[in-house]
Structure 1
Amino acid sequence: MVKSKLMKYNKFVLLMMLVVSWLSLLLFGKSSFKRFIPAGIFIALVTGLENYAAKKRTWWWWYEKLHPKLSGSIPFVFGPFMIGSMWVLKLTYGKFNRYLIVNLIVDSFFIFILIDKWLKKWGIASLVRMKKIQLSLLLFIDSLLLYGFQLLIEKIKVVKWKEDDSEIQRKNIR
Protein backbone atom coordinates (compact mmCIF):
# COMPACT_ATOMS: atom_id res chain seq x y z
CA MET A 1 0.00 0.00 0.00
CA VAL A 2 2.81 2.43 0.86
CA LYS A 3 4.65 1.70 -2.39
CA SER A 4 1.59 2.46 -4.50
CA LYS A 5 1.20 5.87 -2.82
CA LEU A 6 4.87 6.67 -3.45
CA MET A 7 4.82 5.35 -7.01
CA LYS A 8 1.90 7.64 -7.79
CA TYR A 9 4.31 10.59 -7.73
CA ASN A 10 7.33 9.05 -9.52
CA LYS A 11 6.96 11.02 -12.75
CA PHE A 12 6.48 14.18 -10.73
CA VAL A 13 9.67 13.42 -8.75
CA LEU A 14 11.65 12.88 -11.96
CA LEU A 15 10.26 16.06 -13.51
CA MET A 16 10.99 18.12 -10.39
CA MET A 17 14.60 16.87 -10.26
CA LEU A 18 15.05 18.13 -13.80
CA VAL A 19 13.25 21.46 -13.26
CA VAL A 20 14.84 22.30 -9.89
CA SER A 21 18.30 21.57 -11.30
CA TRP A 22 17.76 24.01 -14.16
CA LEU A 23 16.14 26.62 -11.89
CA SER A 24 19.28 26.57 -9.73
CA LEU A 25 21.12 28.10 -12.68
CA LEU A 26 19.35 31.39 -11.92
CA LEU A 27 21.94 31.70 -9.11
CA PHE A 28 24.82 30.54 -11.29
CA GLY A 29 25.84 33.71 -13.11
CA LYS A 30 26.06 34.33 -16.84
CA SER A 31 29.86 34.20 -17.12
CA SER A 32 30.04 30.98 -15.06
CA PHE A 33 27.30 29.47 -17.21
CA LYS A 34 29.23 30.27 -20.40
CA ARG A 35 32.43 28.96 -18.84
CA PHE A 36 31.07 25.62 -17.61
CA ILE A 37 28.24 24.72 -20.03
CA PRO A 38 30.59 22.88 -22.43
CA ALA A 39 31.72 20.63 -19.57
CA GLY A 40 28.10 20.13 -18.50
CA ILE A 41 27.13 19.05 -22.01
CA PHE A 42 30.20 16.81 -22.19
CA ILE A 43 29.36 14.99 -18.94
CA ALA A 44 25.72 14.65 -20.01
CA LEU A 45 26.86 12.94 -23.22
CA VAL A 46 29.26 10.66 -21.32
CA THR A 47 26.55 9.77 -18.80
CA GLY A 48 24.07 9.18 -21.61
CA LEU A 49 26.48 6.72 -23.24
CA GLU A 50 26.99 5.00 -19.89
CA ASN A 51 23.24 4.66 -19.47
CA TYR A 52 23.01 3.13 -22.95
CA ALA A 53 25.70 0.58 -22.02
CA ALA A 54 24.01 0.00 -18.64
CA LYS A 55 20.73 -0.83 -20.35
CA LYS A 56 22.41 -3.31 -22.70
CA ARG A 57 24.35 -4.97 -19.84
CA THR A 58 21.63 -4.50 -17.19
CA TRP A 59 23.97 -2.69 -14.79
CA TRP A 60 21.03 -0.71 -13.45
CA TRP A 61 17.42 -0.36 -14.36
CA TRP A 62 15.05 2.60 -14.61
CA TYR A 63 11.51 1.49 -13.86
CA GLU A 64 9.88 4.88 -14.28
CA LYS A 65 9.89 7.08 -17.38
CA LEU A 66 8.62 10.57 -18.11
CA HIS A 67 7.63 9.43 -21.58
CA PRO A 68 7.31 5.87 -22.94
CA LYS A 69 10.01 6.47 -25.57
CA LEU A 70 12.52 8.12 -23.21
CA SER A 71 14.57 6.42 -20.54
CA GLY A 72 13.97 7.36 -16.94
CA SER A 73 17.64 8.33 -16.83
CA ILE A 74 17.03 11.41 -19.02
CA PRO A 75 15.88 13.65 -16.13
CA PHE A 76 18.98 12.63 -14.15
CA VAL A 77 21.41 13.02 -17.04
CA PHE A 78 20.18 16.47 -18.06
CA GLY A 79 19.25 17.52 -14.55
CA PRO A 80 21.30 16.69 -11.47
CA PHE A 81 24.27 15.12 -13.30
CA MET A 82 24.74 17.89 -15.85
CA ILE A 83 23.80 20.88 -13.72
CA GLY A 84 25.31 19.40 -10.55
CA SER A 85 28.60 18.86 -12.37
CA MET A 86 28.58 22.49 -13.48
CA TRP A 87 27.98 23.61 -9.88
CA VAL A 88 30.79 21.41 -8.57
CA LEU A 89 33.15 22.86 -11.19
CA LYS A 90 32.09 26.41 -10.37
CA LEU A 91 32.68 25.91 -6.65
CA THR A 92 35.90 23.89 -6.83
CA TYR A 93 37.65 24.37 -10.18
CA GLY A 94 41.33 25.16 -9.71
CA LYS A 95 41.41 23.30 -6.38
CA PHE A 96 41.72 19.68 -7.48
CA ASN A 97 41.80 18.12 -3.99
CA ARG A 98 38.65 20.00 -3.00
CA TYR A 99 37.07 18.95 -6.30
CA LEU A 100 37.78 15.26 -5.57
CA ILE A 101 36.44 15.51 -2.01
CA VAL A 102 33.23 17.26 -3.10
CA ASN A 103 32.73 14.67 -5.86
CA LEU A 104 33.27 11.84 -3.39
CA ILE A 105 30.63 13.31 -1.07
CA VAL A 106 28.11 13.96 -3.85
CA ASP A 107 28.66 10.56 -5.49
CA SER A 108 28.38 8.76 -2.13
CA PHE A 109 25.12 10.58 -1.44
CA PHE A 110 23.83 9.54 -4.86
CA ILE A 111 24.83 5.88 -4.47
CA PHE A 112 24.10 5.19 -0.81
CA ILE A 113 21.17 7.53 -0.12
CA LEU A 114 19.46 8.48 -3.36
CA ILE A 115 19.62 5.12 -5.13
CA ASP A 116 19.47 2.81 -2.12
CA LYS A 117 17.02 4.64 0.09
CA TRP A 118 14.79 6.63 -2.25
CA LEU A 119 14.85 5.57 -5.90
CA LYS A 120 14.75 1.85 -5.12
CA LYS A 121 12.05 2.32 -2.48
CA TRP A 122 9.91 4.46 -4.78
CA GLY A 123 10.29 2.06 -7.71
CA ILE A 124 12.12 4.55 -9.95
CA ALA A 125 15.54 2.89 -10.38
CA SER A 126 17.90 0.35 -8.86
CA LEU A 127 21.26 -1.28 -9.38
CA VAL A 128 20.99 -4.74 -10.94
CA ARG A 129 24.34 -6.20 -12.07
CA MET A 130 26.57 -3.42 -10.83
CA LYS A 131 27.77 -3.20 -7.26
CA LYS A 132 27.92 0.09 -5.39
CA ILE A 133 31.73 0.06 -5.41
CA GLN A 134 31.74 -0.39 -9.19
CA LEU A 135 29.36 2.54 -9.61
CA SER A 136 31.59 4.57 -7.29
CA LEU A 137 34.57 3.82 -9.52
CA LEU A 138 32.60 4.71 -12.65
CA LEU A 139 31.52 8.04 -11.15
CA PHE A 140 35.11 8.71 -10.03
CA ILE A 141 36.34 8.14 -13.60
CA ASP A 142 33.57 10.45 -14.82
CA SER A 143 34.75 13.15 -12.42
CA LEU A 144 38.31 12.85 -13.72
CA LEU A 145 37.05 13.08 -17.31
CA LEU A 146 34.99 16.15 -16.42
CA TYR A 147 37.89 17.95 -14.77
CA GLY A 148 40.23 17.02 -17.61
CA PHE A 149 37.71 18.28 -20.16
CA GLN A 150 37.41 21.61 -18.31
CA LEU A 151 41.22 21.89 -18.19
CA LEU A 152 41.30 21.37 -21.95
CA ILE A 153 38.59 24.00 -22.51
CA GLU A 154 40.47 26.49 -20.31
CA LYS A 155 43.72 25.80 -22.20
CA ILE A 156 41.99 26.32 -25.57
CA LYS A 157 40.51 29.61 -24.32
CA VAL A 158 43.95 30.84 -23.17
CA VAL A 159 45.54 29.96 -26.51
CA LYS A 160 42.71 31.68 -28.39
CA TRP A 161 42.99 34.75 -26.12
CA LYS A 162 46.74 34.93 -26.78
CA GLU A 163 46.18 34.59 -30.53
CA ASP A 164 43.55 37.36 -30.44
CA ASP A 165 45.88 39.55 -28.38
CA SER A 166 48.73 38.97 -30.86
CA GLU A 167 46.43 39.91 -33.75
CA ILE A 168 45.44 43.15 -32.01
CA GLN A 169 49.09 44.00 -31.36
CA ARG A 170 49.99 43.36 -35.03
CA LYS A 171 47.20 45.67 -36.15
CA ASN A 172 48.35 48.40 -33.75
CA ILE A 173 51.95 48.19 -35.05
CA ARG A 174 50.84 48.77 -38.65
Structure 2
Amino acid sequence: MQRYLPAAIGMCLYLVGEGLYAEKKKWMWYPVSVKPNALIGLPLTFGPFLVGALWIMKYTYGKFKHFLILNIIIDNFFSYVVMDWFKKINYVYLVNLSKFKLSLVFLIKTFLLYLFQIIYDKTVYKKDQHL
Protein backbone atom coordinates (compact mmCIF):
# COMPACT_ATOMS: atom_id res chain seq x y z
CA MET A 1 0.00 0.00 0.00
CA GLN A 2 3.02 2.21 0.49
CA ARG A 3 3.35 2.37 -3.28
CA TYR A 4 0.06 4.29 -3.55
CA LEU A 5 0.68 6.72 -0.68
CA PRO A 6 2.30 9.51 -2.75
CA ALA A 7 -0.61 9.61 -5.23
CA ALA A 8 -3.17 9.50 -2.41
CA ILE A 9 -1.44 12.29 -0.48
CA GLY A 10 -1.10 14.26 -3.71
CA MET A 11 -4.85 14.00 -4.18
CA CYS A 12 -5.44 15.09 -0.60
CA LEU A 13 -3.36 18.21 -1.22
CA TYR A 14 -5.31 18.78 -4.43
CA LEU A 15 -8.52 18.50 -2.38
CA VAL A 16 -7.33 21.17 0.03
CA GLY A 17 -6.83 23.53 -2.92
CA GLU A 18 -10.16 22.49 -4.39
CA GLY A 19 -11.82 23.21 -1.05
CA LEU A 20 -10.46 26.75 -1.04
CA TYR A 21 -11.70 27.23 -4.62
CA ALA A 22 -15.08 25.73 -3.70
CA GLU A 23 -15.36 28.18 -0.82
CA LYS A 24 -14.80 31.13 -3.18
CA LYS A 25 -17.42 29.76 -5.60
CA LYS A 26 -19.77 28.95 -2.71
CA TRP A 27 -20.22 25.37 -3.81
CA MET A 28 -20.92 24.38 -0.22
CA TRP A 29 -21.74 26.04 3.05
CA TYR A 30 -20.58 24.84 6.45
CA PRO A 31 -22.67 26.18 9.36
CA VAL A 32 -19.58 26.18 11.60
CA SER A 33 -17.66 29.45 11.50
CA VAL A 34 -14.08 28.36 10.92
CA LYS A 35 -12.05 30.49 8.52
CA PRO A 36 -11.31 29.54 5.88
CA ASN A 37 -14.49 27.49 5.83
CA ALA A 38 -12.81 24.88 3.61
CA LEU A 39 -10.77 23.68 6.61
CA ILE A 40 -13.89 21.97 7.96
CA GLY A 41 -13.44 19.35 5.22
CA LEU A 42 -9.89 18.41 6.30
CA PRO A 43 -10.97 15.49 8.51
CA LEU A 44 -12.80 13.95 5.54
CA THR A 45 -9.85 14.59 3.24
CA PHE A 46 -7.12 13.13 5.44
CA GLY A 47 -9.42 10.49 6.91
CA PRO A 48 -11.88 8.53 4.78
CA PHE A 49 -10.69 9.94 1.44
CA LEU A 50 -7.02 9.10 2.07
CA VAL A 51 -7.78 5.62 3.42
CA GLY A 52 -10.33 4.95 0.67
CA ALA A 53 -7.93 6.05 -2.06
CA LEU A 54 -5.24 3.73 -0.69
CA TRP A 55 -7.53 0.70 -0.51
CA ILE A 56 -9.14 1.33 -3.89
CA MET A 57 -5.73 1.73 -5.51
CA LYS A 58 -4.42 -1.40 -3.80
CA TYR A 59 -7.23 -3.60 -5.10
CA THR A 60 -7.99 -2.05 -8.49
CA TYR A 61 -4.85 -0.36 -9.81
CA GLY A 62 -3.92 -1.91 -13.12
CA LYS A 63 -7.58 -2.80 -13.73
CA PHE A 64 -8.87 0.60 -14.82
CA LYS A 65 -12.41 -0.57 -15.56
CA HIS A 66 -12.78 -1.94 -12.02
CA PHE A 67 -11.18 1.20 -10.59
CA LEU A 68 -13.59 3.46 -12.50
CA ILE A 69 -16.72 1.47 -11.66
CA LEU A 70 -15.87 1.22 -7.97
CA ASN A 71 -15.14 4.95 -7.79
CA ILE A 72 -18.37 5.86 -9.56
CA ILE A 73 -20.34 3.74 -7.09
CA ILE A 74 -18.60 5.22 -4.04
CA ASP A 75 -18.68 8.79 -5.35
CA ASN A 76 -22.39 8.61 -6.15
CA PHE A 77 -23.11 7.08 -2.76
CA PHE A 78 -21.31 10.02 -1.19
CA SER A 79 -23.02 12.60 -3.42
CA TYR A 80 -26.56 11.27 -3.05
CA VAL A 81 -26.65 9.54 0.34
CA VAL A 82 -23.87 10.91 2.55
CA MET A 83 -24.50 14.52 1.50
CA ASP A 84 -28.16 14.15 2.55
CA TRP A 85 -27.00 12.81 5.90
CA PHE A 86 -24.50 15.69 6.27
CA LYS A 87 -27.33 18.13 5.62
CA LYS A 88 -29.51 16.35 8.17
CA ILE A 89 -26.82 16.58 10.88
CA ASN A 90 -26.11 20.21 9.94
CA TYR A 91 -22.51 19.56 8.81
CA VAL A 92 -22.50 20.88 5.24
CA TYR A 93 -24.97 22.07 2.62
CA LEU A 94 -24.58 22.18 -1.15
CA VAL A 95 -25.22 25.73 -2.38
CA ASN A 96 -23.97 26.43 -5.91
CA LEU A 97 -23.27 22.81 -6.74
CA SER A 98 -25.87 20.17 -7.48
CA LYS A 99 -25.43 16.55 -6.46
CA PHE A 100 -24.93 15.65 -10.10
CA LYS A 101 -22.17 18.25 -10.50
CA LEU A 102 -20.59 17.02 -7.27
CA SER A 103 -20.50 13.54 -8.81
CA LEU A 104 -18.77 14.99 -11.88
CA VAL A 105 -16.19 16.73 -9.66
CA PHE A 106 -15.55 13.37 -8.01
CA LEU A 107 -15.18 11.76 -11.43
CA ILE A 108 -12.47 14.27 -12.32
CA LYS A 109 -10.66 13.36 -9.10
CA THR A 110 -10.96 9.68 -9.99
CA PHE A 111 -9.05 10.25 -13.21
CA LEU A 112 -6.51 12.50 -11.49
CA LEU A 113 -5.75 9.92 -8.82
CA TYR A 114 -5.11 7.25 -11.44
CA LEU A 115 -3.01 9.68 -13.49
CA PHE A 116 -0.96 10.65 -10.41
CA GLN A 117 -0.24 6.97 -9.81
CA ILE A 118 0.79 6.37 -13.42
CA ILE A 119 3.17 9.33 -13.28
CA TYR A 120 4.59 8.13 -9.94
CA ASP A 121 5.07 4.62 -11.31
CA LYS A 122 6.82 5.82 -14.44
CA THR A 123 9.12 8.26 -12.65
CA VAL A 124 9.85 7.26 -9.06
CA TYR A 125 8.57 3.72 -8.44
CA LYS A 126 10.40 2.13 -11.37
CA LYS A 127 13.65 3.76 -10.30
CA ASP A 128 13.23 2.44 -6.75
CA GLN A 129 12.78 -1.11 -8.11
CA HIS A 130 16.27 -1.00 -9.67
CA LEU A 131 18.10 -0.01 -6.48
Match of 1:167 in 2: none
Match 2:105 to one of 138, 143, 147: 138
Amino acid at match of 1:110: F
Deviations 1:100-139 (A, max 9, x none): 00000100110000002x1000000111001112111111
C-alpha distance in 1 between matches for 2:49 and 2:30:
16
DSSP 3-state at the match of 1:72? helix
- Quote the residue 2:57 is aligned against: 89
Matched, 1:60 2:28: yes
Of the three residues 41, 45, 49, the one matched with 2:17 is: 49
- State the alpha-carbon separation in 1 of the partners of residues 61 and 128 from structure 2: 20
Q: Partners in 2 of 1:64 and 1:107 — Cα distance?
A: 24
Deviations 1:79-108 (A, max 9, x none): 111221111111111100000000001001
2:76 alignment partner in structure 1: 108
CA–CA distance in 2 between the matches of 1:154 and 1:137? 26
Aligned pair count reads 128
* Inter-partner Cα distance in structure 1 for 2:97 and 2:35: 24
Which among 58, 74, 92 is matched to residue 125 of structure 1? 92
**Secondary structure at the residue paired with 1:44?**
helix
Give distance in 1, aligned partners of 2:69 and 2:3.
Answer: 22
Deviation at 1:55, TM superposition (A): 0.6
Which residue, out of 113, 122, 125, partners 1:155?
Answer: 122
Unaligned runs of at least 5 residues, structure 1: 1-31, 165-174
The one-letter amino acid paired with 2:72 is L
Q: Is the 8 A contact 2:79 2:100 kept in 1?
A: no
Shift of 1:159: 4.0
For structure 2, the residue ranges without an aligned partner over 5 or more in a row are none
Larger Rg: 1
AA matched with 2:110: S
Matching residue of 1:75: 43
The separation in 2 between residues aligned to 1:105 and 1:44, in whole angstroms, is 20
